[in-house]
Amino acid sequence: MYHKIAPDSPSMWWVTVNNFYRQMFELGNKQVVYLDDYDPKNKNHVVITFDGVYKNILTYAAPVLEKFGYPFELFITSDYLGQANEFDTVEPPADFASITELLLLQQRGGRMQWHTKSHPDLKNELNTDLIDNELSIPYEKGYFDDNSFKWFAYPYGNFNDGVVDRVKKHFNGAVSCNQGSDTDFFKLNRLTVTNETRLSKETISCIIPSYNYGQFLSEAIESVLRQTIVPDEIIIADDCSTDMTGEIAMYYKKKHPKLISYFKNTENMGIVPHFNKAISLSAGSYIVFLGADNCFQSNYIEECASVLNQYSDVGIAYTDFLLFGSRAKKMYAEFKPEYQSVVGHDFFKIEFPEAEDIDVMERLKQGNFIHGSSMYRRSCYEKIGGYKSSTEEPEDYNFFLSAVKNGFKVKKANNTILQYRQHSLDQANHSFGNQKLVNFYKIRVKELEAELAFLRKYKIVSGISFGFKVKQNFKKLLVHIKKNGINKTIDKLLKRQF
């Protein structure tokens, strides 16, 4: 049960658009049905309902529901159609949908159901005439479609036996939200959804390993932060870098303390031990690695997780990738002609086969087509014992080959792509002049200026007890900017000369 969907959430009855989208995504392995088709014994059946119905359901919820192809139920209160919720002094202002807007919702898969005329609390109501008046539908047949008004929602979720008896005379069933039952069709209970509600037990861990790839790190992190489905945790795993990896990682950790964590090895462990350590620090049931020099397309996590959600027998979701960077053209030429797909001015697409069209094991014996940023189940990792060192095979190839040998199926996520950077240590775009890193430091400098202005305004830095060193460093930085300009200052920052 939902009430309002909007960009912001001023109270528990407002679910943000982002959380609503996430929750609809989490229903991907369920069967969303209308109440007429609901079977309480079927654990995969889900019904999405809205009480009110508020105008923001048309604006914000309907496009999401249409995108996922979900049907939904709309429990309306006729006295408030097209009106503001002025009667509700506790809640922020919100407009109810008009008749025209309800008809638009009906066109998008909504079914009209009944929520009384005036939304009274019926818990202690015994007057049958009053109850029948609230239950009567004021619309002529044909105003809404023939599937409308077969179900009833008790206002505030409250009822008594007399109310239930009257409802049985008018409707096929009824729903509550606090005193109902899981099986009685005239007392069906609903889950009241809030921003924090999770509709799936599956969680996602995204691990970004970095070893001296600090100049690319902010670009990789930002590509995860702008995902349509943001992972439950982002772990930045630093294999004892000597560049600015730690500085950039800590910046993002402080900005997103509940989402991002950072650890740095005390000594360089190498790829396989480093990957295994990172996974040991993660908690997600789905795991995906993103190299610090690569990027995800914005729907990458959603599309890969959707494959694992929908196909319980699939252990690994893989994708195509776009090669970019100064060595992209050279690397593209080294792939099999059957994998070469699209060539652009500065990118080259590699398109891998559908698992259903090939003998996966035989194809893997010929060479890898499952890249290292494929998403997989933790159960897959645990069964094969993690990543293993091999003198003959790359760690990801060895890992996925072992997974297939152990019976895990693979499936391609077709509607997304990995952006796979091709570079070498001596190429120009690997230098400290990388534009993405320059942009990162420009933002940091502006933030430092704002922080110093705040400290000066409230005279926080005037005493020895607080931040004398911070004050001196800020001063030094600002003096250098004033004297030498932003670009030369950034150059010194990149070379760690402050």
Whether 314 and 409 have beta carbons less than 8 Å apart is answered as yes
pLDDT of res. 245: 95
CA gap 146, 136 in Å, rounded: 16
Helix H or strand E encompassing 306 = helix 300-310
Confidence of residue 426 (pLDDT cuts 50, 70, 90): very low
Sheet holding 151-153, edge to edge: 49-52, 72-76, 110-114, 151-153, 173-175
Confidence of residue 433 (pLDDT cuts 50, 70, 90): very low
CA gap 188, 201 in Å, rounded: 23
Name beta bridge partners: 52.
76
Confidence of residue 491 (pLDDT cuts 50, 70, 90): low
CA gap 318, 369 in Å, rounded: 9
Q: Helix or strand or coil: residue 281?
A: coil
Structure tokens at 370: 């499952």
Provide CB contacts within 8 A for 274, sequence distance 6+: 209, 211, 237, 239, 265
Provide CB contacts within 8 A for 35, sequence distance 6+: 47, 49, 73, 111, 113, 150, 151, 173, 175
The region that residue 92 occupies, defined by phi over 0 for left and psi between -120 and 50 for alpha, beta otherwise, is beta
Mean pLDDT of 294-315: 96
pTM of this structure: 0.83
% of the chain residues with pLDDT over 90: 76
Mean pLDDT of 205-232: 96
Provide CB contacts within 8 A for 234, sequence distance 6+: 206, 207, 208, 221, 224, 225, 256, 259, 260, 261
Q: What single-letter amino acid sits at 119?
A: H
Confidence of residue 454 (pLDDT cuts 50, 70, 90): low
Q: Is the pLDDT of residue 31 over 80?
A: yes
Position of tokens 């959600």? 309
Residues 174-185: pLDDT tens digits? 999 888 899 999
Position of tokens 């407009």? 95
pLDDT of res. 450: 76
Whether 255 and 231 have beta carbons less than 8 Å apart is answered as no
Question: Where do the domains of the chain lie?
Answer: 4-175, 204-421, 432-494
Mean pLDDT of 467-489: 60
Residues 345-378: pLDDT tens digits? 788 999 999 999 999 999 999 999 999 999 999 9
Residues 79-138: pLDDT tens digits? 999 999 988 888 999 999 999 999 999 999 999 999 999 999 999 999 999 999 999 999
% of the chain residues with pLDDT over 70: 87
pLDDT of res. 86: 87
Burial of 309 (0-12, 13-18, 19+ CB in 10 A): buried
Whether 214 and 293 have beta carbons less than 8 Å apart is answered as no
Q: How many CA atoms lie within 13 A of 108 on its CB side?
A: 20
Q: Is the pLDDT of residue 332 over 50?
A: yes
Domain 204-421 has CATH 3.90.550.10: yes
Phi (first) and psi of residue 322, to 5 degrees: -105, 120
Residues 42-64: pLDDT tens digits? 999 999 999 999 999 999 999 99
CA gap 119, 154 in Å, rounded: 8
Whether 287 and 374 have beta carbons less than 8 Å apart is answered as no
Confidence of residue 453 (pLDDT cuts 50, 70, 90): confident
pLDDT of res. 492: 66
Mean pLDDT of 235-262: 96
Mean pLDDT of 423-450: 59
pLDDT of res. 462: 46
Residue 32's closest CA among 49, 42, 46? 46
Using only the alpha carbons of the chain, give its radius of gyration.
28
Helix H or strand E encompassing 173 = strand 173-175
Residue 50's closest CA among 39, 42, 58? 58
pLDDT of res. 477: 64
Provide CB contacts within 8 A for 332, sequence distance 6+: 323, 340, 343, 348, 350
Burial of 8 (0-12, 13-18, 19+ CB in 10 A): exposed
| The most confident of 11-20, 426-435, 462-471, by mean pLDDT | 11-20
Mean pLDDT of 280-306: 97
Q: Is the pLDDT of residue 435 over 60?
A: no
Phi (first) and psi of residue 288, to 5 degrees: -140, 135
* CATH number at 4-175: 3.20.20.370
Length of the chain: 498
Confidence of residue 394 (pLDDT cuts 50, 70, 90): confident
Q: What single-letter amino acid sits at 59?
A: T
Residues 376-385: pLDDT tens digits? 999 999 999 9
Q: Which residue has the higher pLDDT, 486 or 181?
A: 181
Residue 59's closest CA among 11, 2, 4? 4
pLDDT of res. 321: 93
Position of tokens 């294999």? 239
Confidence of residue 425 (pLDDT cuts 50, 70, 90): very low
Mean pLDDT of 141-154: 93
Residue 278's closest CA among 292, 267, 268, 289? 289
Mean pLDDT over each residue of the chain, to the nearest integer? 89
Whether 371 and 418 have beta carbons less than 8 Å apart is answered as yes
